Structure 1
Amino acid sequence: MLRQLHAWPGVILALLLIVLATSGAVLSTQPLAERLVTPAAAPTTQVAELASRVAHQVPGVERIERRPSGMLVARYTRGADSGAVRIDPNSGAALGPYQPSPTYAWMRDLHRAFFIGTPGHAMAGVGAIGMLLLSFSGLVMLARRQGGWRNLLGSIHGNGQSRWHSQVSRLLLPLLILIGASGLYLSADTFGLVRDGMDSDASFPTSVSQGSRVDPGQLTALRNVALSDLRELDFPAQDNPQDAYTLRTAQGDGYVDAVDGRLLGYQPHDLARHLYEYIYQLHTGDLLGVFSPLLGLAALGVPLLGITGLVLFLRRRRSVTHGDAKIAPEEADCVILVGSESNGTWAFARTLQQGLMDSGRRVYSAPLNQGTRAFPAARQLLVLTSTYGDGGAPQSARGFLEQLDDLRLADDARFAVLGFGDRRFPRFCQYAKDVETALLAHGLAPLMARQDIDAASVPSFQAWAQDLGERLGITLNLVHSAEPIACSDYQLIERRLHQAPGDTPLVVLRFAPLGQPVEYQAGDLLAIQAPGAQTPRYYSLASDSDHGVLEICVRLCDGGLCSTYLHGLEAGARVSGFVQPHREFRPEPGSAPLILIGAGSGIGPLVGFIRRNARQRRLYLYWGGRVPEAGVPFDRDLDQALADGRLSDLRTAFSAGPQRAYVQDRLSQDAHELRHLVAAGAQVLVCGGRNMADGVRHAFDEMLAPLALSVDHLRAGGRYREDLF
Structure 2
Amino acid sequence: IDFINKNVIVNQFTGEIISTSTSPFKGLAYLVRTLHIGKGHYIWATLLFISCLAILFFIYSGFAITLKRRKKSVNPFAKEVCEYIVLVGTEGGSTREFARAVHDDLLRQGKRSYIADMNDFGNYPQLEQLLIFASTYGDGDAPMTGTRFAELWKKHPIVQSFGYTVVGFGSLSYPEFCRFAKEVDVLLAKEPQAKAMTPLHTISDQSVDAFRQWAEKWSATQDLNLRLPSDFLTRKKRKRTELTVVERTPVMDDDIFLVRLKPLKNVAFESGDLLGITPADGRERLYSIAKYREEIWLSVKLVAQGVVSNLLNDLPIGETLRAVIEPNPNFHFPKKAPQVVCIANGAGMAPFLGMIEENTDKKPLTLVWGCRREASLELYRPYIDPYIEEGKISTYWQAVSREGDKFYVQDIIHREGSFFANLLAEGGVVMICGSMAMLKAVKETLEEVCHFHLRKPLSYFENNGQIKTDCY
TM-score scaled by structure 1?
Answer: 0.46
**CA shift at 1:578, angstroms?**
2.8
Question: Whole-Å Cα distance in 2 between the matches of residues 340 and 701 of structure 1?
Answer: 23
Query: Counterpart amino acid of 1:449?
Result: V
- Cross-structure match for 2:263: 513
Where do residues 110-129 of structure 1 align in structure 2 (5 Å cutoff)? 129=54
Question: Whole-Å Cα distance in 2 between the matches of residues 676 and 96 of structure 1?
Answer: 78
Q: 1:431 to 1:613 in 2, by over 3 A?
A: same
**CA shift at 1:529, angstroms?**
3.7
- Cross-structure match for 2:213: 466
Q: 1:556 to 1:582 in 2, by over 3 A?
A: farther
Instruction: Determine if contact 1:603/1:687 at 8 Å carries over to the other structure.
Output: yes
- Cross-structure match for 2:126: 408
Q: 1:524 to 1:96 in 2, by over 3 A?
A: farther
- Cross-structure match for 2:57: 132
Whether 2:132 is the aligned partner of 1:417: answer: yes
**CA shift at 1:491, angstroms?**
0.4
Question: Whole-Å Cα distance in 2 between the matches of residues 673 and 341 of structure 1?
Answer: 29
Q: 1:458 to 1:490 in 2, by over 3 A?
A: same
**CA shift at 1:604, angstroms?**
2.1
Q: 1:526 to 1:465 in 2, by over 3 A?
A: same
Q: Which of residues 98, 106, 117 in structure 2 aligns to 1:348?
A: 98
Query: Counterpart amino acid of 1:417?
Result: I
Instruction: Determine if contact 2:84/2:129 at 8 Å carries over to the other structure.
Output: no
Instruction: Determine if contact 2:365/2:394 at 8 Å carries over to the other structure.
Output: yes
Q: Which of residues 312, 319, 324 in structure 2 aligns to 1:577?
A: 324
**CA shift at 1:630, angstroms?**
4.0
Where do residues 238-317 of structure 1 align in structure 2 (5 Å cutoff)? none
Question: Whole-Å Cα distance in 1 between the matches of residues 25 and 61 of structure 2?
Answer: 37
Instruction: Determine if contact 1:526/1:579 at 8 Å carries over to the other structure.
Output: yes
Q: Which of residues 290, 296, 299 in structure 2 aligns to 1:542?
A: 290
Question: Whole-Å Cα distance in 2 between the matches of residues 630 and 644 of structure 1?
Answer: 23
Question: Whole-Å Cα distance in 2 between the matches of residues 477 and 352 of structure 1?
Answer: 8
- Cross-structure match for 1:431: 146
SS in structure 2 of the partner of residue 491 of structure 1: strand
Give structure 1 stretches of 5+ with no counterpart.
1-57, 59-71, 76-82, 113-121, 142-308, 324-328, 372-382, 388-392, 394-399
Question: Whole-Å Cα distance in 1 between the matches of residues 87 and 413 of structure 2?
Answer: 45
**CA shift at 1:645, angstroms?**
1.5
Question: Whole-Å Cα distance in 2 between the matches of residues 95 and 626 of structure 1?
Answer: 95
- Cross-structure match for 1:494: 246
Query: Counterpart amino acid of 1:687?
Result: C
Question: Whole-Å Cα distance in 2 between the matches of residues 86 and 567 of structure 1?
Answer: 85
Query: Counterpart amino acid of 1:451?
Result: G
Query: Counterpart amino acid of 1:521?
Result: E
Question: Whole-Å Cα distance in 2 between the matches of residues 463 and 695 of structure 1?
Answer: 34
- Cross-structure match for 1:255: none
Question: Whole-Å Cα distance in 1 between the matches of residues 170 and 462 of structure 2?
Answer: 25
For structure 1, which segment, 710-719 or 487-496, has the greater mean C-alpha deviation from structure 2 after superposition? 710-719
Give structure 2 stretches of 5+ with no counterpart.
38-46, 172-177, 179-202
- Cross-structure match for 1:64: none
Question: Whole-Å Cα distance in 1 between the matches of residues 395 and 9 of structure 2?
Answer: 70
SS in structure 2 of the partner of residue 517 of structure 1: coil
Q: 1:437 to 1:466 in 2, by over 3 A?
A: farther
**CA shift at 1:580, angstroms?**
1.5
Deviation track 1:81-126 (CA, whole Å, cap 9, x = no partner) reads: xx45699xxxx99998756479979x99xx99xxxxxxxxx9x999
Instruction: Determine if contact 1:466/1:476 at 8 Å carries over to the other structure.
Output: no
Question: Whole-Å Cα distance in 1 between the matches of residues 359 and 271 of structure 2?
Answer: 12
Query: Counterpart amino acid of 2:281?
Result: G
Deviation track 1:255-304 (CA, whole Å, cap 9, x = no partner) reads: xxxxxxxxxxxxxxxxxxxxxxxxxxxxxxxxxxxxxxxxxxxxxxxxxx
- Cross-structure match for 2:364: 618
Whether 2:362 is the aligned partner of 1:645: answer: no
**CA shift at 1:484, angstroms?**
1.8
Query: Counterpart amino acid of 1:580?
Result: P
- Cross-structure match for 1:690: 436
Query: Counterpart amino acid of 1:517?
Result: V
Whether 2:106 is the aligned partner of 1:362: answer: no
Q: Which of residues 302, 308, 333 in structure 2 aligns to 1:586?
A: 333
SS in structure 1 of the partner of residue 57 of structure 2: helix
Where do residues 25-40 of structure 1 align in structure 2 (5 Å cutoff)? none
Question: Whole-Å Cα distance in 1 between the matches of residues 144 and 161 of structure 2?
Answer: 21
Instruction: Determine if contact 2:4/2:26 at 8 Å carries over to the other structure.
Output: no
Question: Whole-Å Cα distance in 2 between the matches of residues 678 and 354 of structure 1?
Answer: 41
Instruction: Determine if contact 1:386/1:420 at 8 Å carries over to the other structure.
Output: no
- Cross-structure match for 1:663: 409
Question: Whole-Å Cα distance in 1 between the matches of residues 62 and 417 of structure 2?
Answer: 45
Q: 1:444 to 1:638 in 2, by over 3 A?
A: farther
Q: 1:346 to 1:322 in 2, by over 3 A?
A: farther
**What is the percent sequence identity of the aligned residues?**
19
Whether 2:345 is the aligned partner of 1:599: answer: yes
Q: 1:579 to 1:472 in 2, by over 3 A?
A: closer
Deviation track 1:482-514 (CA, whole Å, cap 9, x = no partner) reads: 22243241303334346356x3x3233333334
SS in structure 2 of the partner of residue 522 of structure 1: coil
Q: 1:125 to 1:574 in 2, by over 3 A?
A: farther
Q: 1:603 to 1:342 in 2, by over 3 A?
A: closer
- Cross-structure match for 1:446: 163
SS in structure 1 of the partner of residue 211 of structure 2: helix
Instruction: Determine if contact 1:414/1:444 at 8 Å carries over to the other structure.
Output: no
Instruction: Determine if contact 2:88/2:134 at 8 Å carries over to the other structure.
Output: no
SS in structure 2 of the partner of residue 642 of structure 1: helix
Instruction: Determine if contact 2:83/2:126 at 8 Å carries over to the other structure.
Output: no
Query: Counterpart amino acid of 2:244?
Result: L
Q: 1:625 to 1:421 in 2, by over 3 A?
A: same
- Cross-structure match for 1:522: 271
Question: Whole-Å Cα distance in 1 between the matches of residues 20 and 281 of structure 2?
Answer: 78
Give the CA RMSD over aligned residues. Answer: 5.4
- Cross-structure match for 1:174: none
TM-score scaled by structure 2?
Answer: 0.66
Instruction: Determine if contact 1:386/1:432 at 8 Å carries over to the other structure.
Output: no
Q: 1:101 to 1:667 in 2, by over 3 A?
A: same
SS in structure 1 of the partner of residue 270 of structure 2: coil
Question: Whole-Å Cα distance in 2 between the matches of residues 343 and 590 of structure 1?
Answer: 26
Whether 2:3 is the aligned partner of 1:73: answer: yes
SS in structure 1 of the partner of residue 244 of structure 2: strand
Question: Whole-Å Cα distance in 2 between the matches of residues 707 and 86 of structure 1?
Answer: 86
Query: Counterpart amino acid of 2:397?
Result: R
Aligned length: 418
Deviation track 1:48-74 (CA, whole Å, cap 9, x = no partner) reads: xxxxxxxxxx7xxxxxxxxxxxxx624
Q: 1:531 to 1:715 in 2, by over 3 A?
A: same
